[in-house]
Amino acid sequence: MQLCYPERPAARSKLNYEPGTVPFVASGNRHNGVECYVTPKNDADFDRGECLSISPVDGSTFYQPVDFLGRGGAGSSIILIRLKAGINEQRGLFLSTLLRTLFSKFKFVDMANSRDLPHEELPLPVNSQGDPDWKAMEKKIKPIQKTMRQIVALYMQARNISALSMPHTATPPGTVNPGDEINVG
């Protein structure tokens, strides 16, 4: 059963854009793949968010919640994955973790490509009908997500960093007060 379909962003380089507020997503393995923030040349320039981005170089996989500009073309361009059933933050985080592990087998000499991806099998939890159990995946991620938001909020608080000072923050981390209990297990 094919649950998703791969796409490639248009050929583009960050060097052809002015600095701005739209994420430029490339094959990096940190910062959600965001290499910098740019100004699109026009409205048609965007790659639609609510997808996964995969680096064919090392398998780094991230959920992209908002519209962005993806690094396309030759070399280290990214592969985008769109779910037929739709995606939300919890599904995206669950699948990105799973895919990152699965695609870590790819290295620079044998990079993944959009032709390989549909043939990979994902060990997903299934419901009684044999369909992917999206609710179970979401339920598994939510407590992890809550804990990570608390940790980030404490970090920012300890360093006196405001969420508003960070570029393109979709939603600020949860509020944590000194003395709040954080469950990490």
The DSSP annotation for 67-124 comes to -BEE-BSSSS--EEEEETT---HHHHHHHHHHHHHHGGG--GGG---TTTGGGPPP--
The torsion angles phi and psi of 60, rounded to 5 degrees, stand at -55, 130
- Residues 66-86 have pLDDT tens digits of 999 999 887 668 989 998 888
Question: What local confidence, expressed as pLDDT, does residue 67 receive?
Answer: 94
Which residues have CB under 8 Å from 58's CB, separation 6+? 27, 29, 104, 106, 107, 108
pLDDT, averaged across the chain: 80
| DSSP strand pairing (69-70 vs 18-25) | parallel
Q: Does pLDDT of 172 surpass 50?
A: no
- Residues 114-157 have pLDDT tens digits of 565 656 677 889 999 999 999 999 999 999 999 999 999 999 88
pTM: 0.76
